Structures are given as structure tokens and as C-alpha cells.
Amino acid sequence: MKLVRFGARGQERPGIVDTLGRIRDLSGHVADVSAGALSDATLRALAALDIDTLPLVPEGTRLGPCVGRVGKMICVGLNYSDHAAESNMPVPTEPVLFMKATSAIVGPDDDVHIPPGAEKVDWEVELGVVIGREARYVSRERALEHVAGYCVVNDVSERAYQLERGGQWDKGKGCDTFGPLGPWLVTRDEVPDPQALRLWLDVDGHRYQDGNTRTMIFDVATLVAYISRFMSLQPGDVISTGTPPGVGMGRKPEPVYLRAGQTMRLGIDGLGEQRQRVVAATTAEAP
């Protein structure tokens, strides 16, 4: 299944994508695509519905983040060796973890705002993993049983805030609008091998990233098991699993960063595409 959330910001409703790519309203069956709807039992019940009888959502309706009320968003750094190399950082021997503020989460096609004074805003297409069942000290062999599904993430980053301002990476990762999720939450039964997914990203039509999840250093099952040793993973939590090479910071001879007026387009095979316009934020502006 491909689950979505549609409607105005803060008023999103649950939906499902039918065989013709149209969105159908699931409000009569679940309150939201969030923690309470992500159990195996609920997903089986939704899969048994006659989707064609559900109300159609008008074409062009805004899509919100594909998961609502995310409890925490855990990100994995340097999870592709060639990205570590372009970042001039050593290949990690254990997963590098950091948190992305949930206030950064927006819809897949919402604008990305460059914070006032920011000069090094960068892109990162990533595979997102959505937890469906609590995971605490799980084994790698059982880890994927705790996954509800997968989605596209753009882990937008301000590199000066991340690397030049002291402390952890979080300052460069958690700015408002820096976490587009979606368009779809694709249930795990439709993704038999999360390590065989092509992911790509363009800026103004130029292809910067073109990778595959098979080249991850730590695969999805390893990440779920590893993270569950340090914190319990709850339904609705999102893990962003790292980016392949091609980020702006790694461009030679000079880095390339986003500017207001540009457009990012990114996607993962089978998980859909995002499109974001880059705009300049102001101190008085809400995203």
C-alpha cells in the first residue's frame, strides 16, 4: 500500500493511493497515518478495504508529510563510504547517529526555506524507515519485523551550522522545513529488499546524486537493531538512513550550495518523488 496525508498544513487527513495513482480518503477508517495506524493488524485491515469505494481526493490537493505526529527522527551520518570520502571524513566503524528536530518536518512538495544569514544549505536524498512496532534491543534478524514501511527523505542541511558552529550536527539539520517526508509511506510488503533501491536528486534539472541503497555501509536491518540498543523505537518514529555521494559540499573544485529560486527534485524507485522550491525565509515568517 501507498499511504499519504493530504490537506492544509496541520489539518492533514489520511489517504491511500489507488491503482490509477489517485488519492482516496481513508478518514472513515483511521484517524491519521501515524503511530496508531502503523501496526501490522491495522495495515492488514486497510489492505483488505475495497479502495475503489473510498471517496476521491481532488487532484492537486497538497500532500503533507507521509507520517503524522512523528515522535523522533533519527538520522544516520556518513552511511555511504563514497559520501564519507567527499565529506573528508573517515568511514565510520559504527553508525553515526544524530537527531533531526521534528519541527523541521514538512510535506514532500512544500517550500524549503533558507534561514536568514545561511550560506551553505545543502541537499541529501535518503531512504526513510518508518517504525510500526516498538523495537527495544531487537536482533538484526528480527529488525525488519518492526518496520511499517519506507519513504523518501530530503535531509536538508546547513553545513556551516552543522560543522563550523561547535557542538553536535543538530544545529545544521533541524531548521524549519529541513525535513521533507513523502510523498508516500510504502508498506514493507511492497519493498521486499530495501537494499536494492535507486535514489537520485536534481537541482534545476542537473543530476547531482544518483546512488543505490545496496552501497550502504550499514543496512536497514543493522540500523534498526543498532539504534534499538540506545533508545526504544516507537511506532511513527522515522530513521533517515544516510545519503549517497553528490552533495553540494563535496563538489570539486568548489562546493555548490542552494540559492533562493532554485528547485530540488528527488526520488527513490517505487517510493515516489519530491519537488521543493527553495525560498529565502525571513525572521517574521512562518514556514
Q: What average pLDDT does the structure give for the chain? A: 95
Question: Average pLDDT in the 68-96 region?
Answer: 90
Span 187-228, pLDDT tens digits: 999 999 999 999 999 999 999 999 999 999 999 999 999 999
Span 27-64, pLDDT tens digits: 999 999 999 999 999 999 999 999 999 999 999 999 99
> Per the structure block, which three cell numbers stand in for 72?
523522533
| Cα separation, 156 vs 248, whole angstroms | 11
CATH number for the segment(s) 68-280: 3.90.850.10
Exposure b/e, 14-41, CB count within 10 A at least 16 = b: bbbbeeeebbbbbeeebebbbbebbeee
Q: Residue 37's pLDDT is what?
A: 97
The pair phi, psi for residue 52, each rounded to 5°, is: -65, -10
